Structure 1
Amino acid sequence: MTKYQLRESALELLTRIGEQGGYSHVLLDQEMRKHRLSQKDGALLTEIVYGTLQNKLKIDYQIHPYITNQKKLKPWVKWLLYMSVYQMLYLERVPDHAVIHESVEISKRKGHKGISSLVNGVLRNVQRNGVKDTEAITDPLEKLSIETSHPVWLVKRWVRLYGMDLTRGICFQNLKHLPMSVRVQTLRISRSEAATELKSRGIVAEESLFSSQGLLITEGRILNDPLFKKGLVTVQDQSSMLAAEMMDLTPGDAVLDACSAPGGKTTHIAEKLSDRGEVTAYDLHKKKANLVKEKAELLQLSSIKADQADSRKLGQVHQEESFDRILLDAPCSGLGVLRGKPDIKYHKKEQDIYDLRTIQDSLLVSLAPLLKKGGKLVYSTCTVDQHENEGAVKEFLNQNKDFTVDSSFVEDLPDFLKDSTGISEYGLQLFPQQWDTDGFFLTRLVKR
């Protein structure tokens, strides 16, 4: 793929993500598979797409003075300007003149002379005048919003919940690259053997402190490695590995994973059970449930039974007190995973948090009868919002007096997390800047 074609591809992806609500990680993966991109081209395409999305509001602040009526811009022109300015401001290895030339050529092919003149004019102005300072913004919340490209409503909400210092930490961390971590299928290969084999192919991995199965990839590309392709390692964020680690599993347990796709936590549960017992996994969508089946087959795990169902209605499928353990990795706003999915912050509205909470409450209430007495339920989300996390747990406990927070969950945490500032009476909140992971919440409830 030529650099011109690559930038056209980036523009198409950004327009679909920004205007049609496509998921950045899904569309990027599809594009790279479709064109069988080399490692170098794939890295550049990813950099342009993710970098543009992560910095959209700051870029918009830069180009705003040079466009008289931004609302009249066609969507693809707006995204062409965004991605071009991103490359000019952030990619030192790409010369400005090359970016401007290719952007003007794209605008000529896709539009008319007026559009190409506008694109050329805006980019020349940015090149000539440099980065516009944010010091002129007097409102500290608006300034933080522009500097870190987080919508003002979100910045205000986090400041209200956590204060300015913690909010600044979250926002600036969300602009940084998320380290790649993987989970080793230790029923087939040990963690040390996997690390040694990866090293022989130039992939450097450190042992994760979050899970005895985790590896942090510090150098090299894991997705093309035989260990990944054979299902001996699975990509999973370190914070996410805590869900199965906290379930207090014993081989032979009957386990329910209520919202299981794409299957990372499901397969981790099966591995913790030594593939003995039964992991019943559901997802609302048939296609996603099939992903869990495929993941289980790739990892050679036979204890997983995956199917499509609305987990709010599982009382019609299973008898009460059928399961020793339940994992509810609940549908949530995803505000803890903005580093890997930056488009989320532009697509979400504050009302979505409250709408999702209704679903979370309903799931907890519906699943509670399915747990055996003395059984344990882990509730987790990939968000950093109190309303979806501590708030949901508190409400559930108020309504279900036969449940309590299993305070012993702290004992099962890795040592470095046992005195974490994120521990409350309702669970553990991880923020992305604390341990360079996704933002994540989890707690363990026990049925009396």
Structure 2
Amino acid sequence: MEDNKYHLRQAALELLIRIGDQGGFSHLLIDQHIKKFNLDRRDSALFTELVYGTMQRKLTLEYYLTPFLQSKKALKPWVKWLLLLALYQKIYLSRIPDHAIIHETVEIAKRKGHKGIASFVNGVMRNIQRNGVKSTDEIKDPVERLSIETSHPFWLVNRWVEMYGFETTQDMCQENLSHRPTSIRIQPMKIDRGQALEQMEEAGIKAQTSKFSGQGIKIEEGNILHMDLFKENYITIQDESSMLVAEMMALEDGMTVLDACSAPGGKTSHIAEKLANSGKIFAYDLHSKKANLVKKKLELLNLTNVEVAQADSRNLAELHPPEKFDRILVDAPCSGLGVLKGKPDIKYHKQEKDIFQLADIQETLLDKIAPLLKQDGKLMYSTCTVDKHENEEQIEKFLENHPDFEIDPAFFTELPTFLKNTQGLSRFGLQIFPQDFQTDGFFLTRLVKNT
């Protein structure tokens, strides 16, 4: 068993290097590794905890580690990641004894490096064990302290404080360190929600209905991935806030719908299900590989009313005539700052300038796609971020430049009751914060094209 645990920590280190230094995506690499080595439930949980936990707490761990390093001595990146991994276990995983953490960390250093590195790692860990880590109370600036305590870059915390105030930002940063519950959506042409819940109960999975969607189920305890429901494509894993998009599109059978940025296909397939395979959905993605993933997802769910293709949606006027679509979804490429619970690496890889570059793309997309909407048609705009520049300000700018559009008044009346008094509701749409309902941070609004 110890050999296996060593393998897990060595593998966790390799993934941290790939994610932290080479820009790999944490959720994809973790899933690939678990499948490749066929890890059992217990080892999968520990492996995921080690990688996600260390990545989520990176800035906090660096704050604790730095006083124990010789500042003039250049540290190889992998050695630093190894020490952060060890420190995460020591501070946040109380069930693992110090002697085991130090022993395994030194063994990895010996095998990956040499005796000198192993000796250095041993010295640092023994020193931390003797002296303990310094308190964050020493940081006087509250924004900087929040940045370090919750491991969010200072620029990001500062930006959120300016937008939403300190208290909301603090709640958001704290929530981003928590585990996001799994939520799923049934394929209603294959099974109804009551049947799915019964099967889950029989399998020992605790679940409840979602308030966001009549197809949604929130998993409270248990692993849905082992059930035939998942393996046989009766359900789709999708965050609850994301389910709200198709629910709020005011879809009717037989409609012609455009999904301009469709990958990975969760919203596309939900729209197809809402239309019960009627009408026609044209789904596009900039990358052919991603468009193929959407096709595959639709096939597995037995959805037949979607035409998927690779295209730059800024050029869709070359493929479709004006005023063709009853409904358009622009699930815009964004900074992803609402999904940090599940993808903690995003907060270290993104910079403030990225937000403005992405906002330019969003603006162009909306401008180019708007003429494709029919008179009295509705356009849904959504992002998985919490930044006003990509959300409310983007919509405000669009409305200034397109007087034939307005926010659909019915959007606000059709919202589920529990969302009608949330702090994120503005005249431009709905901002869901991650701390509101244990979901991803998400923005959506619906525009209507007037005659």
User: TM above 0.5, one fold?
Assistant: yes
Change (3 A) 1:296 1:71: farther
Q: Which amino acid is 1:349 matched to?
A: Q
Q: C-alpha distance in 2, partners of 1:392/1:11?
A: 40
Q: C-alpha distance in 2, partners of 1:222/1:328?
A: 30
User: In structure 2, the residue corresponding to 1:183 is in which secondary structure?
Assistant: strand
Q: Is the aligned partner of 1:183 residue 2:185?
A: yes
Give unpaired runs (5+ residues) of structure 2.
Answer: none
User: In structure 2, the residue corresponding to 1:293 is in which secondary structure?
Assistant: helix
Q: Is the aligned partner of 1:113 residue 2:108?
A: no
Q: CA deviation at 1:70?
A: 7.5
Q: C-alpha distance in 2, partners of 1:70/1:239?
A: 48
What residue number does 1:173 align with?
A: 175
User: In structure 2, the residue corresponding to 1:14 is in which secondary structure?
Assistant: helix
What residue number does 2:52 align with?
A: 50
- Match of residue 33, structure 2, among 31, 34, 51: 31
What residue number does 2:372 align with?
A: 370
Q: CA deviation at 1:27?
A: 0.8
- Match of residue 414, structure 1, among 377, 396, 416: 416
Q: C-alpha distance in 2, partners of 1:70/1:156?
A: 30
Q: C-alpha distance in 2, partners of 1:304/1:46?
A: 35
Identity fraction in percent: 60
- Match of residue 352, structure 2, among 350, 370, 375: 350
What residue number does 1:202 align with?
A: 204
Q: C-alpha distance in 1, partners of 2:379/2:427?
A: 16
What residue number does 2:273 align with?
A: 271
Q: Which amino acid is 1:324 matched to?
A: D
What residue number does 2:404 align with?
A: 402
Instruction: Describe how 1:328-347 pairs up with structure 2 within 5 A.
Output: 328-347=330-349
Q: Which amino acid is 1:199 matched to?
A: E
Q: Is the aligned partner of 1:41 residue 2:43?
A: yes
8 Å CA contact 1:377–1:444 kept in 2: the answer is: yes
Q: C-alpha distance in 1, partners of 2:130/2:198?
A: 50
User: In structure 2, the residue corresponding to 1:393 is in which secondary structure?
Assistant: helix
Q: C-alpha distance in 1, partners of 2:155/2:421?
A: 31
Q: Which amino acid is 1:171 matched to?
A: C
Q: May I ask how many residue pairs the two structures share in their alignment?
A: 448
Summarize deviations over 1:352-389 as a string: whole Å, max 9, x none.
00000000000000110111111000000000000000
Q: Is the aligned partner of 1:92 residue 2:94?
A: yes
Summarize deviations over 1:66-117 as a string: whole Å, max 9, x none.
0013772111111111111101111122222111111100100111122111
Q: CA deviation at 1:128?
A: 2.2
What residue number does 1:14 align with?
A: 16
Q: C-alpha distance in 1, partners of 2:197/2:95?
A: 32
Runs of at least 4 residues of structure 1 off by over 3 A? none
Q: CA deviation at 1:17?
A: 0.3
Summarize deviations over 1:224-247 as a string: whole Å, max 9, x none.
211111111111111000110110
Q: Is the aligned partner of 1:284 residue 2:252?
A: no
Q: Which amino acid is 2:50 matched to?
A: I
Q: Which amino acid is 2:288 matched to?
A: K
Q: CA deviation at 1:132?
A: 2.1
Q: CA deviation at 1:316?
A: 0.6
- Match of residue 60, structure 1, among 59, 62, 66: 62
TM-score by length of 1: 0.98
Q: Is the aligned partner of 1:132 residue 2:134?
A: yes
Q: CA deviation at 1:307?
A: 1.1
Q: CA deviation at 1:118?
A: 1.6
Summarize deviations over 1:286-309 as a string: whole Å, max 9, x none.
110011011101111111111111
Change (3 A) 1:141 1:71: farther
8 Å CA contact 1:64–1:70 kept in 2: the answer is: no
Summarize deviations over 1:31-83 as a string: whole Å, max 9, x none.
11111111111111110110001100100011111001377211111111111
- Match of residue 434, structure 2, among 428, 432, 436: 432
TM-score by length of 2: 0.98
User: In structure 2, the residue corresponding to 1:282 is in which secondary structure?
Assistant: strand
Change (3 A) 1:31 1:407: same
Summarize deviations over 1:144-172 as a string: whole Å, max 9, x none.
00100000000110111111111101111
User: In structure 2, the residue corresponding to 1:206 is in which secondary structure?
Assistant: strand
Instruction: Describe how 1:228-247 pairs up with structure 2 within 5 A.
Output: 228-247=230-249
Change (3 A) 1:70 1:417: farther
Q: CA deviation at 1:397?
A: 0.6
User: In structure 2, the residue corresponding to 1:72 is in which secondary structure?
Assistant: coil
What residue number does 1:302 align with?
A: 304
- Match of residue 384, structure 2, among 382, 385, 398: 382
User: In structure 1, the residue corresponding to 2:138 is in which secondary structure?
Assistant: coil
What residue number does 1:161 align with?
A: 163
What residue number does 1:69 align with?
A: 71
User: In structure 1, the residue corresponding to 2:211 is in which secondary structure?
Assistant: coil
